[in-house]
Structure 1
Amino acid sequence: MLNYFLKRLMGLVPTLLIVAVLVFLFVHMLPGDPARLAAGQEADDKTVAMVRAQLGLDQPLPKQFVSFFGHMLQGDFGTSIRSRRPVSTEIAERFGPTLMLTITSMVWSVIFGMGIGIVSAVYRNRWPDRLGMTLAVSGISFPAFALGMLLMQVFSVQLGWLPTVGAATWKHYILPSLTLGAAVAAVMARFTRASFVEVIQEDFVRTARAKGVNERGVILKHTLRNALIPVVTMMGLQFGFLLGGSIVVEAVFNWPGLGRLLVDSVQMRDYPVIQTLVLLFSLEFILINLVVDVLYGYINPTIRYK
């Protein structure tokens, strides 16, 4: 297991290098001139050229990439064109709210998603199963931005119970986390049900019932652990999705997180921030997949990596 873990860590380097090249090329293909946006629409051509030289955008693309990658290896991700602050500072200030929102959304979505999936599997083809899968399909089908605006209209505008924007108190987390976690809970419910239905028909489950083990023991002790492998896989992927893909929800609720920062950076063609954020999101997915693979060995001891 340790050798497998170290090999996967070593594999981060070429993966991130490829991602860095692709992101650098993609960012520089975006329409618009960052120097013009930084200097202002009223600036003359001489001022724009001066700003472009200060930002290093007058250099050939290969030289710009070598400079960016060299500084990145030293922990220097550059300076934001929009705020003139270090990119690492910008991201560090926004990472906390996004992480807390992701954890909050993931906790409730896993609890309710797995709960609905287990109940649907145990009572499959009966009314609890039909009700649970109807809720799951509805959660997947309903767009996040529409759900967010609906929740804001009901609980903020009409009832006045919850705030709409900001991240100052625990009340600010309720509506964004419900909006962000709805689709994840639906996916978890469907995957949990499918995995349980498959495992609950295995011979060892019938043997446990024949030995007189009560139904709760069969479900929690024998079925749950064996059904968790595909669920854990989806859980890890969904956590990475929430951490890096909450752009729409953060835009709807004006959440001071990484998603909102990425939207603002794209609008201002803030190349250093965009490149660093995409690399960060890629690193998050790689590390989360690695953690999920390692967890396999603890959930099912029969799995071995060679």
Structure 2
Amino acid sequence: MFPYILKRLMGLIPTLLIVAVMVFLFVHLLPGDPARLVAGPEADSQTVELIRQDLGLDKPMHEQFVNYFSKALHGDFGTSLRTKRPVSMEIAERFWPTFWLTVSSMVWAVLFGLVIGIVSAVWRNEWPDRLGMTLAVSGISFPSFALGMLLMELFSVKLGWLPTIGADSWRHYILPSLALGAAVAAVMARFTRSSFVEILQEDFVRTARAKGLSETIVVLKHCLRNSLIPVVTMMGLQFGFLLGGSIVVEKVFNWPGMGRLLIDAVEMRDYPVIQAEILLFSLEFIFINLVVDVLYAVINPSIRYK
């Protein structure tokens, strides 16, 4: 197991290098002049040129990339063009609100998704299955931003139960996490049902039932563990998507997270912030995939990486 983990960690280097090159080229192809945006619409061309030199945007592209990547290796991602603060500080302040929003969304989505998927598989083609899959299809089909606005209108405007803006208390997390996790819960329900249906038809399940074990023990002890490997894979991918895909929900709820920071950075062509955030999202995906692979051996001891 250790050599496999070490090999995967070493694979981070070329992957992050390719991502860094692609992100660098992408942000520099965005329309708009960062120097003009920083200087303001009323600044003359001489002032804009001075700002461009100060930001290092007057140098050739390859020199800008070498300078950026060499500093990034030492943990220096530059200074935000918009706030004049270190990019690492900007991201550090916004990371935890996004992280805890993602965790809260993932927790309830996984729990509900597993329950609905298991119930639908056990009572396949009966009314619990039809009800559960109807809810799953509705969760996938309904856009997160539309669900967010609907929840705000109902629970904040009409009923006045929950706040809509800010991240000061646990009550602020309820509506954004519901809007963000609805699609994940739907995907988990459908995926769990599919995995469970296959496991329920295996020979060891029939053997367990023939021994006189109760259906609850058969489902929770024998079926659940054997069906978790594909489910864990989906959980890892969905967690990564939530971390990087909370932009729309954060915009709707004015959430002080990384998604909102990325939107502001794109609007202002804040190259250092855009590059650092996308690199961080890429690193998160790679790390989550590594954790998922390691969990395979924990769930099923028969799996060993050589």
**TM-score category, normalised to shorter length:** over 0.9
Following the alignment from structure 1 to structure 2, what is the Cα–Cα distance between the partners of residues 267 and 190?
A: 37
Following the alignment from structure 1 to structure 2, what is the Cα–Cα distance between the partners of residues 200 and 273?
A: 49
Corresponding residue for 2:270?
270
Corresponding residue for 2:125?
125
Following the alignment from structure 1 to structure 2, what is the Cα–Cα distance between the partners of residues 59 and 254?
A: 36
Q: Letter of the aligned partner of 1:223 in structure 2?
A: C
Q: Which moved more, 1:160-169 or 1:57-66?
A: 160-169
Corresponding residue for 2:106?
106
TM-score with structure 2 length normalisation?
1.00
Corresponding residue for 2:170?
170
Please provide the CA RMSD for this pair.
Answer: 0.4
Q: Letter of the aligned partner of 2:33 in structure 1?
A: D
Corresponding residue for 1:93?
93
Following the alignment from structure 2 to structure 1, what is the Cα–Cα distance between the partners of residues 127 and 220?
A: 22
Sequence identity percentage = 77
Report the secondary structure of 2:75's partner residue.
coil
Structure 1 unmatched ranges of 5 or more: none
Following the alignment from structure 1 to structure 2, what is the Cα–Cα distance between the partners of residues 155 and 220?
A: 36
Q: CA deviation at 1:244?
A: 1.1
Following the alignment from structure 1 to structure 2, what is the Cα–Cα distance between the partners of residues 285 and 66?
A: 25
Matched positions, count: 306
Structure 2 unmatched ranges of 5 or more: none
Following the alignment from structure 1 to structure 2, what is the Cα–Cα distance between the partners of residues 163 and 45?
A: 46
TM-score with structure 1 length normalisation?
1.00
Q: CA deviation at 1:69?
A: 0.1
Corresponding residue for 2:234?
234
Corresponding residue for 1:6?
6
**What are the residue-to-residue correspondences of 1:1-306 with 2, within 5 Å?**
1-306=1-306
Q: CA deviation at 1:303?
A: 1.1
Following the alignment from structure 1 to structure 2, what is the Cα–Cα distance between the partners of residues 11 and 303?
A: 22
Q: Letter of the aligned partner of 1:218 in structure 2?
A: V
Following the alignment from structure 2 to structure 1, what is the Cα–Cα distance between the partners of residues 108 and 98?
A: 16
Report the secondary structure of 1:190's partner residue.
helix
Cα deviation per residue 1:151-194 (whole Å; 9 max; x = unaligned)? Answer: 01111111111111110111110000000000000000000000
Following the alignment from structure 1 to structure 2, what is the Cα–Cα distance between the partners of residues 218 and 206?
A: 9
